[in-house]
Structure 1
Amino acid sequence: MDNAMYVVLSRQMTLRRELDVVANNLANADTTGFKVEALQVRTDTQAPARMADGPKTLKFVLDDEVVRDFTQGSMQQTGGTFDLGIDGRGFFKIQTADGERYTRDGRFTLSPEGKLTTQDGDPVMGDGGEIVLDPAQGPVNIAPDGSISQGPQRVGKVAVVDFSDLSVLRKDGDNLFRNVSNLQPTTATAAQVRQGMLEGSNVNSILQVTRLIEISRSYESMAKSIDNTSDLSRRAVERLGRVA
Structure 2
Amino acid sequence: MVSGIQHAVQGMTLQTQRQDQIANNLANVNTTGYKRRDLFASSIEKHLQDDRGRVSGQRVLRADETYTDFSDGVVEQTGNPLDFAIQGEGFFSVMRPSGVAYTRDGSFSLDQEGFLITGSGDRVFGDSGFIKVDPEGGELNVLQDGTVLQDNVEIDRLRISDFPRPYKMLGVGDNYYRPEADGTGKNVSSPLRSGFEIQQGYLERSNVNPVHEMTGMISSHRVYEATAKAMQSQDETLDKAVNTVGRVQ
The TM-score range, normalised by the shorter chain, is over 0.9
Aligned to 1:226: 231
Listed as ranges, the matches of 1:1-244 within 5 Å are: 1-47=1-47, 57-181=57-181, 182=185, 183-188=187-192, 189-244=194-249
What CA distance in whole angstroms lies between the structure 2 residues aligned with 1:6 and 1:38?
Answer: 24
RMSD: 1.8
Q: How big is the shift at 1:48?
A: 5.9
For residues 133-189 of structure 1, the C-alpha deviation after alignment (integer angstroms, 9 at most, x for no partner) is: 103320101111111111131111111111113432110000000122332212222
For residues 36-76 of structure 1, the C-alpha deviation after alignment (integer angstroms, 9 at most, x for no partner) is: 111001012122699xxxx8632110111011111101100
List alignment gaps of at least 5 residues for structure 1. none
SS in 1 for 2:13: helix
- Confirm or deny: 8 A CA contact 2:116 2:131 kept in the other structure: yes
Count, aligned residues: 241
List alignment gaps of at least 5 residues for structure 2. none
Q: Which amino acid in the other structure matches residue 59 of structure 1? A: R
What CA distance in whole angstroms lies between the structure 1 residues aligned with 2:200 and 2:100?
Answer: 23
What CA distance in whole angstroms lies between the structure 2 residues aligned with 1:32 and 1:172?
Answer: 16
Q: Which amino acid in the other structure matches residue 62 of structure 2? A: L
Segments of 4+ moved more than 3 angstroms: 240-244
What CA distance in whole angstroms lies between the structure 2 residues aligned with 1:136 and 1:185?
Answer: 34
Q: Which amino acid in the other structure matches residue 88 of structure 1? A: G
What CA distance in whole angstroms lies between the structure 2 residues aligned with 1:136 and 1:237?
Answer: 82
- Confirm or deny: 8 A CA contact 2:110 2:135 kept in the other structure: no
Stretch moving more, 149-158 or 80-89: 149-158
SS in 2 for 1:46: strand
For residues 115-136 of structure 1, the C-alpha deviation after alignment (integer angstroms, 9 at most, x for no partner) is: 0000111000000110111033
- Confirm or deny: 8 A CA contact 1:35 1:201 kept in the other structure: yes
Q: How big is the shift at 1:243?
A: 4.1
Q: Which amino acid in the other structure matches residue 125 of structure 2? A: M
| TM-score normalised to structure 2 length | 0.92
- Give percent identity, aligned residues only: 33
- Confirm or deny: 8 A CA contact 2:144 2:198 kept in the other structure: yes
Q: Which amino acid in the other structure matches residue 132 of structure 1? A: K
Q: Which amino acid in the other structure matches residue 126 of structure 1? A: G
SS in 1 for 2:3: helix
Q: Which amino acid in the other structure matches residue 20 of structure 1? A: D
What CA distance in whole angstroms lies between the structure 2 residues aligned with 1:95 and 1:239?
Answer: 68
| TM-score normalised to structure 1 length | 0.94
